[in-house]
A and B are shown apart, each in its own frame.
Chain A
Amino acid sequence: MSKNQMSGAQILLKALADQGVDVVFGYPGGAVLPIYDEFFKQNKIRHILVRQEGGAVHAAEGYARSTGKVGVVLVTSGPGATNAVTGLLDAMMDSVPLVCICGQVPTHLIGNDAFQEADTTGITRPCTKHNYLVKNVDNLARRIHEAFYVAKSGRPGPVVIDFPKDVMMGHADYVPPAKVVHKSYKPQIKGDLAKIEQAVKIMAGAKKPLIYAGGGVINSGPGASQLLTQLVQATDFPCTLTLMGLGALAASDKHFLGMLGMHGTYEANMAMHDCDVMVCVGARFDDRVTGRLDAFSPDSVKIHIDIDPSSINKNVHVDLGIVGDVGHVLEDMIKLWKSGQKRADEKAMKSWWKTINKWRERKSLDYDRAAKNIKPQYAIERLYELTKKQNEVYITTEVGQHQMWAAQHFHFERPNRWMTSGGLGTMGYGLPAAMGVQLAHPKALVIDIAGEASILMNIQEMSTLVQYNLPVKVFILNNEYMGMVRQWQELLHGGRYAESHMQALPDFVKLAEAFGGVGLRAEKKEQLDDVIGEMIECDRPVIADICVDKLESCYPMIPSGAAHNEMIFGPEDETDDPVTEDGMVLV
């Protein structure tokens, strides 16, 4: 052993530091003790002790999505690794760059059903972008650098490193990041110019164009959002965003039609249905967006920009697929548009905007403002109004109606301010994600818009918030129901609310206090502003329990199996069988 050699655990910490990691979310156990010992001996990298490994992964997601950096997780073998699985798949579905280091039993025990052994690479293979089992300490540094490269390049995603304890304790030379070049993984970044030129030509010929942009714009970095804005303004095309794309174009931009899809606005969905040219920018034609496939935007010529060739022609056949990074492709596209002095037909555009403005008049997000109780939409609206003067506001959500209301009624002017679990729809995401966001942005106002059911899935992380003085605000729209489930039961199952009522709930004010945080409650409409004000002012973790209308449903809605021009706007539309047999099998 030469004297420059380091232990596997030391190599890991050095590699993390060289990769620019400043915080790791983790939970210790027998198989990772040597790593924890190294953490103890240094102070470059901060370790945040979560209360459950699932929380660590979502926290790393929140950190990653709000910064564009790779989130890092450290868990022990067996149950530590399996607890991380949901978060890994969540990151996979939403293209979030993570590196998750899992302890593993020593190599000679692998396969023997050793204590706390799990086939971690086997279990996580379909839930990760890639995973490694490092059996030889000589390869360790290289694998770690590769893991970071894979996690953040191309379409981002989670990478697992399964790290046997004997490898942690073995010794080898360190290899710096600059010396590691990946052999096979080389995603295409620049788009094919000929195709971009063709796209520009199609766009210039459009009479009813629409830009449909998504999470890929966020993934591509803040510059891509600026370019999207430039493209929208240069072309005067209307633009809709997916749930994952919110913030990529400022909500206040007059070209913005709101979110599209199942709970999107009337104008966005009608424009999608009727457009003649669709430019999809970093979005993946998810079923929540397309509705019934054979009736999805039936008359449009479709252009799709995506860095992942498998996203192109997966669900919807497109006429022109451009593989490349959103930022790079948009840059070329704008150049070509401007240099060619392209303009879409002025008369046609005028009439298209006129039609769109008619749809806007439908005011599909309206609700009963005169109601005496707190309507959930009203609560979000007030939250938005009372926080919009704050410098930096970051919103995370749990999953359910509150998530959709947040998407509809909170308005995002910038990218990376909105963290939500879209693809997997993981209840319990929001609180730990907010924790990760707050760590990355200590001065910002970070709010988890939650439901009372979801928040209980990772409520233990309140304890972490208190330990590290992270003043995250949990804003619960408490309807005493798994509202989203209840709404579907109302729509599909004759109002038989099987197991969707939260018959017993904790007193959230006392619960906050028990954790060492602050609890607030608003039961009446006139209390709401004060509670929000108090919550914002508080420099400690807060749970604000907002008692909202229990039976409010989230509209507008494209019922499953329906087309974009078959939206329903309120309970009055539900009566005439909005859902077909075919629609029933969809979720």
Chain B
Amino acid sequence: MTPISELQNTHTMSVLVDNEPGVLARVIGLFSGRGYNIESLTVAEIDVEENLSRITIVTSGTPMVIEQIKAQLERLVPIHGVNDLTIEGPHVERELALVKVLGVGEKRVEALRIADIFRARAVDSTNDSFIFEIVGDTGKLNAFIELMVPLGLIDVSRTGVAAIARGTVVMDHD
């Protein structure tokens, strides 16, 4: 018998679903009911004509659990297909965060300077606050947020990861 790895890995899965009531509840219920992790989850309609939505889930588990998660998702009747992007090959992941920083003087200048390095945009500002919008992969957002903490970070809102396969590969399948 081949040895089974106990190592926990993070995987990004892209799930094509019928955009019908309850479909998100099915996915979330599956994760909570079977004790799987959800690190982030995004969902939006992507094809109005065909009435399809894409759910992107970042999850973690041992290889056996990850295989189960994919198989369990595919079992859900309104799901057209599941792509484990982490396994299937190169892909792009992007997340957006809105980061509110309070501060005056030196700290305010420093916040702006770091935002510039990270290509974060100020989308709102008052005399003593900024809201930065930053787009990137999860690691970049984490790094930015960490740097903002000592500079007066008081609120963060993140979208979770959206992901897509690189190159000519088409993820949608039945």
Contacts and interface: CB of A to CB of B under 8 A. Distances in A.
Contacts of B55: none
B29 A126 contact: yes
Contact of A319 (B1, B18, B78, B174): B1
B72 interface: yes
A130 interface: yes
Given A309-B74, A317-B1, A319-B2, A184 B67 contact: no
A125 B67 contact: no
A126 to B, nearest CB: 5
Nearest to A318: B1
A184 B75 contact: no
Nearest to A150: B77
A184 B78 contact: yes
Given A317-B1, A317-B4, A133 B22 contact: yes
Contacts of A121: 22
Interface in A116-144: 121-122, 125-126, 129-130, 133
B38 interface: no
A312 B80 CA distance: 20
B4 A122 contact: no
Interface in A299-320: 299-302, 308-310, 312-314, 317, 319
Contacts of B4: 317
A313 B77 contact: no
Interface string A475-517: 0000000000000000000000000000000000000000000
Given A121-B22, A122-B25, A313-B64, A184 B71 contact: no
B33 interface: yes
Interface string B64-83: 10011001101111111000
A3 interface: no
A184 B25 contact: no
Contacts of B80: 183-184
Nearest to A135: B21
Contacts of A468: none
B26 interface: yes
Contacts of A299: 1
A186 interface: yes
Contacts of A308: 71, 75
Nearest to A302: B1
B174 A310 contact: no
Contacts of B1: 298-302, 317, 319
Nearest to B77: A130
Given A184-B174, A317-B4, A125 B29 contact: yes
Nearest to A317: B4
A115 interface: no
A186 B79 CA distance: 10
Interface in B121-173: none
B3 to A, nearest CB: 9
B84 to A, nearest CB: 13
A126 B74 CA distance: 15
Interface of A is mostly: loop
Contacts of B75: 308-310
Which of A130, A133, A184 counts the most B-chain CB atoms under 10 A from its CB?
A184
Contact of B18 (A129, A184, A186, A310): A184
Nearest to B76: A130
Contacts of B21: 133
Contacts, number: 52
Contact of B2 (A125, A133, A309, A317): A317
Contacts of B76: 130
Nearest to A300: B1
B57 to A, nearest CB: 16
B77 A184 contact: yes
A186 B71 contact: no
A182 to B, nearest CB: 8
A58 to B, nearest CB: 24
Given A302-B1, A317-B4, A310 B71 contact: yes
A152 B25 CA distance: 24
A170 B168 CA distance: 48
A380 to B, nearest CB: 37
A290 to B, nearest CB: 14
A229 to B, nearest CB: 29
A309 B71 contact: yes
A129 B22 contact: no
A19 B79 CA distance: 25
Contacts of B25: 122, 125
B63 to A, nearest CB: 9
B29 A186 contact: no
Contacts of A186: 174
Given A130-B77, A133-B22, A184-B77, A317 B64 contact: yes
A125 B4 CA distance: 32
Nearest to A159: B77
Contacts of A183: 18, 80
Contacts of A302: 1
Interface in B8-32: 18, 21-22, 25-26, 29
Given A183-B18, A302-B1, A313 B33 contact: no
Contacts of B78: 130, 184
A310 B79 contact: no
A300 B1 CA distance: 7
B74 A129 contact: no
Interface string A151-191: 00000000000000000000000000000000111100000
A298 B3 CA distance: 12
Nearest to B25: A125
Given A183-B18, A186-B174, A313 B67 contact: yes
B79 A126 contact: no
Contacts of A126: 29, 33
B26 A125 contact: yes
A367 B79 CA distance: 52
A329 B14 CA distance: 30
A212 to B, nearest CB: 16
Interface of A: 121-122, 125-126, 129-130, 133, 150, 183-186, 298-302, 308-310, 312-314, 317, 319
Given A184-B77, A185-B77, A313-B67, 7 more contacts: A130-B77, A183-B80, A302-B1, A309-B75, A310-B72, A314-B71, A317-B4
14 contacts: A126-B33, A130-B76, A130-B78, A133-B22, A184-B80, A300-B1, A302-B1, A312-B71, A314-B71, A317-B2, A317-B4, A317-B64, A319-B1, A319-B2
Interface of B: 1-2, 4, 18, 21-22, 25-26, 29, 33, 64, 67-68, 71-72, 74-80, 174
Pairs of residues from A and B, 10 with the lowest C-beta to C-beta distance, nearest first: A310-B71, A130-B77, A309-B71, A184-B80, A185-B77, A317-B4, A310-B72, A126-B33, A310-B75, A125-B29
